[in-house]
Amino acid sequence: MDPIDKTILSALYAGMLDSSVSAYERLKARLPVSQEFYESRVAHLSKLGLVEQSDSSKLTFIGRDALKVVLVGGVFDLIHPGHIHTLKAAKGEGDMLIVVVARQSTALQIKKNRKIYHSEEQRKELVSSLNFVDLVLIGREGTLYDTVEYVKPNVIALGYDQAHREKDVAENCKKRNLNVHVIRLTTPIPSAKSSKIKEELGDSIYGI
């Protein structure tokens, strides 16, 4: 498939998950294409059965199957080189990278004594600034798997220092009839951790 068409399908799927920004605006942020060009390509994809004929803002099942969606979750309170390496590696595993920013309540459930410096919206904005990330969502209330069920990724990429076990995540997805491949990403700089940065620089930068 033409890479531009894959990018359009990604923009459409992002719009299905988060309608606050139109698919065309998402696409234009990455590729300087005209509205006319975009509409002509969507019409072409619709003829191929990849986009709904009755609603050109939605993918068909065939269109969704044409995309390999990778999901990464995390707190992302401070973006550091370890995050960049991990997220770039995750993007390399598929066509579309969706990052889920954990809600404050969820992050504190995992680690009760965690200090979180930025709000959910601020953390979403931080990750959204990375041009290789296709969509950033704030996690749903409930468990991790409520969000996974909403996104329906093909791949879940776990960070090198995340506590979740690949086998446990895969089994919990299977219980929800989700066929997801779970992988563990590595990093060339495992010493880069948010907790360490906060411990050493939090006081001086944030006055906490």
What distance in Å separates the CA atoms of residue 165 and residue 51, rounded to the nearest whole number? 36
Structure tokens at 89: 């590696």
Q: What is the average per-residue pLDDT within 22-28?
A: 95
Cα–Cα distances (Å) from 37 to 30, 74, 131, 168, in that order, read 14, 36, 22, 45
What distance in Å separates the CA atoms of residue 62 and residue 47, rounded to the nearest whole number? 12
Predicted confidence at residue 208, as pLDDT, reads 47
Q: What is the average per-residue pLDDT within 98-120?
A: 78
* pTM of structure: 0.87
Domain ranges of the chain: 3-64, 68-206
Q: Which residue would you say has higher pLDDT here, 51 or 145? A: 51
- 158-202 pLDDT, tens digit per residue, is 987 777 889 999 999 999 999 999 999 887 665 556 555 556 555
Burial of 77 (0-12, 13-18, 19+ CB in 10 A): buried
Q: What is the average per-residue pLDDT within 40-60?
A: 97
Q: Domain 68-206 in CATH: superfamily?
A: HUPs (3.40.50.620)
> Residue 72 pLDDT > 50, yes or no?
yes
Non-local CB neighbours of 145 within 8 Å, separated by 6+ positions: 172, 173, 176
Q: What is the average per-residue pLDDT within 85-114?
A: 84
Could you report how far apart the first and last alpha carbons of the chain are, in Å? 51
Q: Which residue would you say has higher pLDDT here, 193 or 43? A: 43
Predicted confidence at residue 195, as pLDDT, reads 57
Predicted confidence at residue 54, as pLDDT, reads 96
Structure tokens at 90: 């995750």
What distance in Å separates the CA atoms of residue 116 and residue 94, rounded to the nearest whole number? 30
> Residue 51 pLDDT > 80, yes or no?
yes
Predicted confidence at residue 48, as pLDDT, reads 97
